[in-house]
Amino acid sequence: MTVFNALVIPKICNAVLRSYQNSWPRDLVSLYVCSPLDFHAQTMNWDCGYRNMQSMISSYLNHDSTVRDQLFSSGILTIPTLKDLQNRIENAWLKGYDQIGGMQLEYSLYDTNKWIGATEVVSMLRSCKVRACVADFDFTAGQCDLNTMVQIVWEYFESRCELRKKNKPDDQCIDSSFVAPLYLQHQGHSRLILGVEKWADGNIKLLILDPQMRRAIQFHQRTGDEANILRQGIGTHGLNSKSKYQIAYLAEKSLYQTESDFSKIIVDELRHPRLRFI
């Protein structure tokens, strides 16, 4: 298997914030953005999940001392390579994490071009004693819709940013504390949610970072309006064209001290309060 080196754009969220500071939209009421991360671009048609994991881990290592120390104790001192991630996911399966997902992928990832999803991300992090969770959004079942998902994402960023930010007179979330990005999975592709906007008409838009190389280069070359290519709302084609999503996220209490059988079973925490780590 040939693996190409990814284009890495450091601290990409800083560029997003600069674009708002240079030109704050008149009708934009609130903005919440995750902590800076180093963006790793997709290099092959199957490695989006791995590149998003690398971007997420860069944020943990650089900005969350609690999770960083736990990752250090698990042997993750720098950003893992793609093959390192494959090996760690396989080891998580061997430890009993997400047996259903392991069976679906035949317990084999290393040196293959198999796609991974949100549950593999969560399995690997939980095997490092990091409390990662999954939320399922199935619009075909009638239990929720895209509006519900967008509102939950808004509440995630709002609560995390409001909890951690310094007292500031405005609504902008710019702080030195840690707010993790969200891993957004749909059939065939994954992206990262960097933050959310709320506009004067009540419309909420997600700031989504796509790991595809073409979009990464476009982002890297643009100046002044970087955030524009990330903004997606309920009416945006691409976001509203999918009927199922999974979101992987860090629980607010991001570590657990002892393993439990529940922690090895990957379920939708939004619908299983007893297992919920938020």
DSSP calls for 62-107: HH-HHHHHHHHHTT--SPPPHHHHHHHHHHHHHTTS-HHHHHHTTT
Catalytically annotated residue among 13, 34, 48, 128 = 48
225 secondary structure, DSSP code: -
Alpha-carbon 106 to chain mean position: 25
Quick check: is 186 catalytic? no
Longest dimension (CA), the chain: 53
- Asked if 70 and 255 count as a contact pair (C-beta separation under 8 A), the reply is yes
**b/e burial code for range 49-70 (CB count within 10 A of at least 16 → b):** bbbbbbbbbbbbbbbbeebbeb
Q: Annotated catalytic, 63?
A: no
Q: How far apart are CA 220 and CA 23, in angstroms?
A: 18
Tell me whether residue 210 is one of the annotated catalytic residues.
Answer: yes
Nearest alpha carbon to residue 209 among 5, 13, 7: 13
Please tell me the distance from the alpha carbon of residue 209 to that of residue 229, in angstroms, as a whole number. Answer: 8
Catalytic residue numbers?
48, 189, 210
